[in-house]
Structure 1
Amino acid sequence: MEVAPGCDLGNDGICPPLRSRQAMLFIPLPFVVALLLLILFVTVLRRDEEAAPNRPFLALILLSVLLSVLSGLRWGYGVQAISMVAPVIAAMVPPLTYAGVSRLVRTSRRSLPARIALHAVPAAVILLLITFRRDTIDIALVLVFVGYAVAILLLMRPGADALRLAPFEGAVPAYRAIIFAAAALCLSAAVDIFVFLDFTWAHGAHAMTLISVSNLAILVILGIAAAAASRSRAPAETVEMTPRPETIEDKETIAAVDALMEAKKLYHDANLNLDRLARKAGIPARQISAAINRAMDKNVSQYVNDYRIGEACRLLADTEKSVTEVMFDVGFQTKSNFNREFRRVTDMTPVAWRQKKAGPTC
């Protein structure tokens, strides 16, 4: 290996000036990521202040800000003490992701202290391993990340209808975001494996690049989680419904929900979700979801949005209201969701529908 004249090699075999140049190339990334995440946190916190915030997702953003800063200190400035703290903080990321998703899925029957104690187990285990078995930390972190990713995917088995406490308007986008979040947890686990193998076989020669990718993966996780939290927030107070022992046929269930939707126009409520619809109808949420899925081959959010788009078609054809006014009147809050659902039902945009004036109904 060639060495620059007058350069004394450090313990790592790298000339100090060269090490400094490498650090200058790496340092900006984790700190820029931290700044972007902090801006994202402020944006999510200010958005839709009337709704109850998804606190686990907000905490997840702040935790990732801290992780990015620690990463910059560890790999940019060589602060070795960071390696004693970072694994414990990293072990908190999957539980917070799961807790944020769980807030949109159901009301937990466990008390808050019990939930906190349960999700604190991974961090506690990592802390013990740091003290007694440091060589197993990487494997333990991989198991934590993959385990929680699988748990999230199990929660999402019913599809968008799993998000019982999320408003119907954002249920489908939130579902897709959560699936990507679970995939990002798996990606982070894969990066940890590559870093472990790199230190084992190549003495960490590629660790900086791999950790940079890991930071970007965390940014992806947080962006997706923040989108789900800000677009689909659970109501401040929710009540878990006790399912009826009687079994109602799918047609009867749909007929009952249809009658309620047409008489009360529940779809006008932009915050309507499956849990609230179930309480209004007096029918268990799972029963409504299963009936609509089997009989109509669609999820409940699409079923509700069909009502919204149906009325939007009539308003666009029969009134002079603007597209934005119509959007708010029928229960949508964002143009992106309105346009996407309108195109799904009619195969055209709201403006094209108005110009065509094809009829009073979709």
Structure 2
Amino acid sequence: MLSIPLPFIVGLVIALTLYRNLKGVETPGSKRYFVVFLMAYAMQGAIIGLRFGYGVEWLHVVQPVTAALMPPLAYLAFRSLAATPVARPALHLVAPLLVLLAVALLPLLVDLLLMLEFICYGVLLFSLTLKGSNALAETSLQRMVPAMRAARLSAILLLFFGIFDAALAVVSLFYGNALVPLAVTAMNFTALFIVTLYYFVPDFFGREQAAPSGAAVAGTNAEDEALLARIEAALDSNDLYRQEDLSLAKLARRTGATAREVSAAINRATGLNVSQFVNNRRIREACRLLEETNQPLTALMFECGFGTKSNFNREFRRVTGKSPSEWRAQARLKN
């Protein structure tokens, strides 16, 4: 009777988790990287499962090469969401090519190269998530936090697999391959635990960037006020604020400024982050429609640019202190 090795399940779970949180992140430069990256995650689980679960030993030649493709794919996928394009992406083929050469010529170097690659790219990807909204400027404002969490999950997994690979090499050196299946099982259970943590404690992987406190913060100047006026005009031009896929990068392009300048000006002049600032404009329109029309809340929500009911309700309450239905009832009592 055939059994399904744990690595199959882990690879599939990780791939589906990342897909769920990257759904809707479809900028032209990132889509191909994300598709290949998710396929590589699932394929690597299948390769490990076939090798250690069914004894397909010839895959020991393929496994390091496919593993070496994952870190650069992960980095390029998330890096392509930044405000500036990736410079010379072909350079990221160097690490997989070095692993391929090591497999063919110097097998003793394979584990060392993989460990260094996974750890270096894990650090690189995690540091990318610390750069604020600019790091994911091409992502729609509503998907920015899930995308950032997915990036951090990927970075943590890269670091974990890199460190584990080094530990596994040491175990094999001193104790042979007898303990390898047990070690691989422990690795996969740990990976599942990390993904479980991701589901039940999402804030552990990051939350929405906090806005400065107060109506505005010190440092506001005439340039900020002028840029803010341009931002507001851009949002109202052709109802840009209604676009569900509106991103910081798109807003910056319409304004004629950089993503960093737009984000900083909004922070300093209003005390809000970019997402809150745009949602304030959407909520103003929602309030008007609630008062002047009989549109159902769901249709009204989509018309104002919100993609989910939970986000709409949360932002509406943040701005008005009431739920949409409460606000509509109170507005009609006044009239």
Deviations 1:303-337 (A, max 9, x none): 21222233223433443222211210111223343
Amino acid at match of 2:245: N
Structure 2: state its 5+ residue gaps.
200-220
CA distance 1:302–1:201, change in 2 (3 Å) = farther
* Structure 2 residue corresponding to 1:76, chosen from 53, 70, 85: 53
* Structure 2 residue corresponding to 1:139, chosen from 112, 122, 131: 112
* Structure 2 residue corresponding to 1:325, chosen from 280, 299, 304: 299
Provide the residue aligned with 1:162 in structure 2: 135
* Structure 2 residue corresponding to 1:192, chosen from 155, 160, 165: 165
Structure 1 residue 79 displacement after superposition: 2.3
Map 1:179-218 to 2 at 5 A: 179-204=152-177, 206-215=179-188, 217=191
CA distance 1:313–1:203, change in 2 (3 Å) = farther
Structure 1: state its 5+ residue gaps.
1-19, 225-246
Provide the residue aligned with 1:305 in structure 2: 279
Matched, 1:60 2:34: no
CA distance 1:146–1:338, change in 2 (3 Å) = farther
CA distance 1:248–1:176, change in 2 (3 Å) = farther
CA contact (8 A) 1:41 1:62 kept: no
Amino acid at match of 2:39: L
Deviations 1:172-197 (A, max 9, x none): 22222222222222122232233223
More off after superposition, 172-181 vs 257-266: 257-266
Amino acid at match of 1:28: P
Structure 1 residue 130 displacement after superposition: 2.0
CA distance 1:255–1:336, change in 2 (3 Å) = same
Provide the residue aligned with 1:124 in structure 2: 97
Amino acid at match of 1:282: G
Matched, 1:342 2:325: no
Tell me the matched-pair count. Answer: 309
Provide the residue aligned with 2:208 in structure 1: none
CA distance 1:49–1:99, change in 2 (3 Å) = closer
- Structure 2 length-normalised TM: 0.77
CA distance 1:326–1:202, change in 2 (3 Å) = farther
Secondary structure of 2:80's match? helix
For 1:104 and 1:50, locate their aligned partners in 2 and report how far apart those are by CA, in whole Å: 9
Secondary structure of 1:331's match? coil
CA contact (8 A) 2:115 2:163 kept: yes
Matched, 1:149 2:122: yes
Provide the residue aligned with 1:88 in structure 2: 65
The structure whose Rg is larger is 1
For 1:145 and 1:34, locate their aligned partners in 2 and report how far apart those are by CA, in whole Å: 17
More off after superposition, 70-79 vs 340-349: 340-349
CA RMSD of aligned residues (A): 3.7
For 2:51 and 2:78, locate their aligned partners in 1 and report how far apart those are by CA, in whole Å: 31
Secondary structure of 2:167's match? helix
Matched, 1:261 2:235: yes
CA contact (8 A) 2:240 2:246 kept: yes
CA contact (8 A) 2:18 2:150 kept: no
Q: Comparing both structures, which one devotes a greater share of its residues to helix?
A: 2
Amino acid at match of 2:225: K
* Structure 2 residue corresponding to 1:178, chosen from 137, 140, 151: 151
Amino acid at match of 2:162: A
Secondary structure of 1:85's match? helix
Deviations 1:285-310 (A, max 9, x none): 22111212333344322221222233
CA distance 1:346–1:89, change in 2 (3 Å) = farther
CA contact (8 A) 1:198 1:205 kept: no
- Structure 1 length-normalised TM: 0.71
